[in-house]
Structure 1
Amino acid sequence: MILSNRYNFLYVHIAKTGGTSVRAALRRLQWRDPYYPAQWLCSRLSHLTGHRIAAKLPRHAKIVCAQEMLPREMFDGLFKFAFVRNPWDLQVSSWHHLKRERPHLLEGRESFDAFTRWKLDPQRPYQYHLDTAITPQTDYLVDLHGRLLTNYLGRYERLLEDFDYICRTIGVPTPALPHKRQATDRSKDYRSYYSDGLAELVGRHFARDVEMLGYRFDGP
């Protein structure tokens, strides 16, 4: 999550939606923010204390955290945005990411089908790096009553165009989006990874994303 007082925006970073690139592109705006030194200090203090002092908004914080922490008039006046992604495509991206960076989490379940079924099993013990990818994207975007709090939702599927719109809205030149954390084996269409049964399982798990964000298995 990025909060900018100078440019009056709040960016909600949902994992595997191009957010690392967006954060990198917006980083220079943070350096110009009058509150950035205080934000940086709080971030360092939080890290040094093992995040025991609740002094910062985490990278993948839900928007309701900012709503609770910020003064109401300030929160209401922010331009609040996020990027979302087709849930079936997101799961393929997450699997590739874990294969590349945390392959030990896949041991015994190396195939996409086996791993995804295990990951979505409600009886599975909690593991942070798995559960960030199975949390519905809409959980990051709504208040405690399920009401959408963002002003704009960009789509991963049109990342460049929507990022340009966001930059024009907050009144800054659009910086180039660097390519960050790209999967090494994504030549295949995400749909080819799925059997009918697995596609249905993912659709049920992310039913609210499918309904609220307007996605379907075959695309947006």
Structure 2
Amino acid sequence: MLLSPRFNFLFVHIAKTGGTSVRAALERVRWRDPWYWLMWPCHRMSHLTGHRLGTKFPRHAHAIAAREMLPKSFYDSLFKFAFVRNPWDLQVSSFHHIRRERPHYMQGHDNFADFLRWKFDPERPYQFHLDTSIESQNDYLVDLHDNLIVDFVGRYEQLNEDFATICARIGIPCPELPHRRQATDRRKDYREYYDDETAALVAQHFGKDIERFGYRFDDVGGA
């Protein structure tokens, strides 16, 4: 989550949706925010105490956390935005990310289909990096009654266009998005990774995301 009081925005960062590039671009803007220099020592103190002081929102905090902790008038005045991604493509990206950077979490499930079935197994012990990647994207953006509480939901599939819209709304020149890190060994079309069973598994688990954001398995996109 990225908050800028001067530029009046709140970015809700859902994992694997291009958020790292968005954060990197907007971090440059935050250096011009005088509130940042007051927030920074609080962030450091929060980190050094294991975040026991509660002075910083976690990187992938849900919007409802900000709404509950910030004054209502301030939260309501912020331009709140996030990005979402086709769930089938997101799971392929997550598979390559974990295999590349945290292979010990795979526990021998090196095949995509086997890994996906194991990942969604309700009997599997909880593991933060695995379970974060199967959280509903919708849950990041709604209140307890499933009402959307952000102002703009961009799409990973049109990241540059939607980021330009966000910058125009914030009122800043649109900085270039840093190059998105890509797995060199993944096939571009995420659909090639699935059979009927695994495609249905994702459809069932992410039913709310598919319904709210209108994604379909045969949507073209992903990289």
TM-score if structure 1 supplies the norm length? Answer: 0.97
The one-letter code sitting in structure 1 at the alignment partner of 2:214 is: G
The one-letter code sitting in structure 2 at the alignment partner of 1:219 is: D
Segments ≥4 residues shifted beyond 4 Å = none
Q: What's the counterpart of residue 119 of structure 1?
A: 119
Q: What's the counterpart of residue 5 of structure 1?
A: 5
**1: distance between equivalents of 2:46 and 2:5?**
20
Q: What's the counterpart of residue 198 of structure 1?
A: 198
The one-letter code sitting in structure 2 at the alignment partner of 1:93 is: S
Q: What's the counterpart of residue 181 of structure 1?
A: 181
**2: distance between equivalents of 1:7 and 1:188?**
36
SS at match of 1:118: helix
The one-letter code sitting in structure 1 at the alignment partner of 2:183 is: A
**1:183 shift after superposition:** 1.8
The one-letter code sitting in structure 1 at the alignment partner of 2:191 is: R
Q: Give per-residue Cα distances to partners, 1:4-54, cap 9 Å, x unaligned.
A: 111111100000000000000000111111211222112111111111111
**2: distance between equivalents of 1:114 and 1:46?**
39
Spell out the pairing of 1:150-161 with structure 2 (5 A cutoff): 150-161=150-161
What is the root-mean-square deviation in Å for CA atoms of aligned residues? Answer: 1.0
Q: What's the counterpart of residue 95 of structure 1?
A: 95
Q: Give per-residue Cα distances to partners, 1:147-184, cap 9 Å, x unaligned.
A: 11111111000001000010011100000000143222
Q: What's the counterpart of residue 72 of structure 1?
A: 72
**1:187 shift after superposition:** 3.2
**2: distance between equivalents of 1:180 and 1:158?**
13
Moved more, 126-135 or 36-45: 36-45
Percent pairwise identity:
64
Determine if contact 1:62/1:140 at 8 Å carries over to the other structure: yes
Q: Give per-residue Cα distances to partners, 1:93-122, cap 9 Å, x unaligned.
A: 000000110011113211110111111111
Q: What's the counterpart of residue 211 of structure 1?
A: 211
- State the aligned residue count: 220
Q: What's the counterpart of residue 63 of structure 1?
A: 63
Determine if contact 1:80/1:151 at 8 Å carries over to the other structure: yes
**1: distance between equivalents of 2:181 and 2:141?**
23
Determine if contact 1:20/1:181 at 8 Å carries over to the other structure: no
Q: Gaps spanning 5+ residues in structure 2: where?
A: none
